[in-house]
Amino acid sequence: MQAKPRRLATRTTAIIVIVIVALVVASSGGVYYYVNYVARPPCASATSGNMKVGFTISLTGTYNVEGGKSLAGIQAAASWINDNGGVTVNGKARNITLDYYDDQSSSTLVPQLYTKIITQDCAQFLLAPYSSALTGAAAPLAEQYNRVMLSHGGSSDTIWTHGYQNVFGVLSPASSYFKNAIDWLVANNHSGDKLAILHADDTFSTAASAAAANYAAGLHLDVVYNDKYSATTQDLSTQLLAAKAAGAEDLLGGGHFDDGLKIVHQLSSVGWTPKFISLLVAVTEPEFQQQLGGAANLVTGPSQWETIVTYSPATAQAANIPWYGPNETQFVNYYSKQSNAGSPTYHSGEAGAAVVVLADAIQTANSTDTTNVRQAISNMHIMTFFGQFKVDATGKQSGHSMVLVQWQSGGLVVVAPDAVASGTVKYPYTGS
């Protein structure tokens, strides 16, 4: 084959291409150099002015729903703190500034972005991204660069098995998610129900579901089906059919927001109506009910927090635990001032709580030094609007309790545990 005649003269094209490439590379390099070495000397704000808290959050991609709620929660908490005296260290009150980027729900981008946040933006403290998978990708950087990192959206127990010293969780670990649902079944004469567990294969869903299977088996419940599916699997019909064929009556599992939608959608198309459904993450989002309509009714789900729980300075005093931060009403109020926030869900609460706990730890330590602050966090036992905060030796949360919620007549009701419930579980699920 002979060569095709070129449209432009080769030399001209060459010059044009070289110029463009050189411009792009040079301008990127130039701007980078200017921004980092001329306009602002590296990390000069470390000892003055504001307290910079850096993080990535999923504003686009698979976790965009949960990520958006988390970001609004963080912003709400930070605003409240800044309006109420800021963070006081050595007698000087400082405001919290937030330095964040969209990680697009991609764990590949997380290390690059956190490196930038730490080495160039000079963040002094870190929050983890949303989801255990992304938190897992971010945590090593907290260790490498020695910054305290609070996990608000990563609950998988495995995060705390690597010996990290700087990573602490505010939310209850994944292994506790299904406990309330299983306890309810046992306590209400349904321990004869056969259980099916179908979950996404990411680290969080696997941890939560594996713990559920163990816990159920320990209470002598019959788990007749236990399987996982990968993120790319869109069609769960065959697995749901297999669960049904195994005789399952109840269904636990799911993953993140999309997984909940997937499962409920396909339950109706394969013609299976379990008597009891409990799904991770998705159920607590208003969009779950909006998109599924009647099929969402009577679906239950574990929640880290709802706006109607009763943590307050009074409860803290009664339990002899120090209180810090906004109360429910104040948090919800500040939350509503954030743009595009919708109504707060537990993702908002846990993320806001992370900021609150961090601020309190810094004040308690009266220092911005990583070692002092992490020492303070390890020893803290306080109560916030989100619940109790106390970590174990590995940094995993041990003081916080979860609740079980259920959609009833278009509204979300807290149905367990009895101490905080505002309603009771309606059984069985009818699919409408």
Partner 1 sequence: MIGKPGLTLYGLFIVMALLAAAALLLGVAVSSILVLLLVYAALAYSINFITGMIGYVDFGHVLFMAIGSYVLATLVSYYGANPLLGVGLGALLGLVFALGIGLVILRFRGVYFAITTVVLVLAAYNIVLQFPQLGAGGEIIVNLKFQPLATYFTIWTIVLIEIVLTYYVNRSRIGFGIRAIKNNEDAASSIGVSPRTLKLTGYMLGGLFGGAGGAVYAWSISGVTAGPAFDFTFSLLMLAMIIIGGVGTSIGPLLGAVVVYIPSYFLLTTVAQAQPLIIGLLVIIMALFLPDGIVGLLRRSNEHLRLVLE
Partner 2 sequence: MVAAELIVTDLAFGLMLGCVFSVVAHGLNIIWGVVKVVNIAHGEFIMLGAYGAYFLNLFAGLTPLETAPVDAAIGLLVGYAFYYAFLHRELRNTETITLQSEMVTLAATFGLSLFISNLAIILFTGNPVGVNYSPGTLQFGYLHVPIAALYVAILSVLIITGTWLFLERTLIGSTIRAYAQDVTATELVGANPAKVASLATALGFAVTMAGGALLTVWIPVGINPLMGALYAPISFVIVVLGGPGKMWGSLVGGLTLGVVIDVVQAFTTVEIAYAAAFLILIPVLVFRPEGLLKR
Where does this chain bind partner 1 (CB under 8 A)? 6-7, 10-11, 13-15, 17-18, 21, 24-25, 28-29, 31-32, 36, 42, 101-102, 104, 106-109, 111-113, 115-116, 119-120, 133, 136-137, 139-141, 143-145, 156, 158, 162-163, 200-203, 206, 228, 230-231
Cβ neighbours of residue 194 closer than 8 Å, sequence gap 6 or more: 222, 223, 224, 246, 247, 248, 249, 250
Q: Using an 8 Å Cβ cutoff, are 231 and 258 in contact?
A: no
List 84, 112, 144, 237, residue binding partner 2 (CB under 8 A) = 237
Q: Which is nearer to partner 2, 189 or 232 (CB)?
A: 232
Does 428 sit behind a cis peptide bond, omega within 30 degrees of 0 on the bond before it? Answer: yes
x/- binding map, residues 22-61, to partner 2, per CB under 8 A? --------------------------------------xx
Amino acid letter, residue 423: G
Question: Considering CB distances under 5 to 8 angstroms, the limit depending on partner class, which of partner 2, partner 1, none binds residue 136?
Answer: partner 1
Torsion of CA 155, 161, 162, 168, to 10 degrees: 40
Q: Which is nearer to partner 2, 262 or 374 (CB)?
A: 262
152 touching partner 2, by CB under 8 A:
no
Window 98 to 137, contacts with partner 2 (CB under 8 A)? 104-105
- Whole-number Å distance between alpha carbons of 308 and 326: 14
Q: Which is nearer to partner 2, 52 or 69 (CB)?
A: 69
Q: How many residues bind partner 2 (CB under 8 A)?
A: 33
Q: Which is nearer to partner 1, 17 or 245 (CB)?
A: 17
Amino acid letter, residue 409: S
List 65, 211, 296, 361, residue binding partner 2 (CB under 8 A) = 65
Q: Which range touches partner 2 (CB under 8 A), out of 44-52, 113-121, 186-194, 228-236? A: 228-236
- Whole-number Å distance between alpha carbons of 80 and 84: 6
List 29, 41, 42, 271, residue binding partner 2 (CB under 8 A) = 271
Coil, strand or helix at 371: helix
250-254 and 276-279 as β-strands: parallel, antiparallel, unpaired? parallel
Q: Cα 417 to the chain's mean position, in Å?
A: 22
Q: 245 vs 52, 148, 217, 274, 352, CA distance in Å?
A: 55, 49, 20, 12, 43
Backbone angles phi, psi at 88, to 5 degrees: -95, 120
Q: What is the CA radius of gyration of the chain?
A: 24
Site residues (vs partner 2, CB under 8 A): 1, 4, 60-62, 64-65, 104-105, 227, 229-230, 232-235, 237-239, 241-242, 245, 258, 261-262, 265-266, 268-272, 291
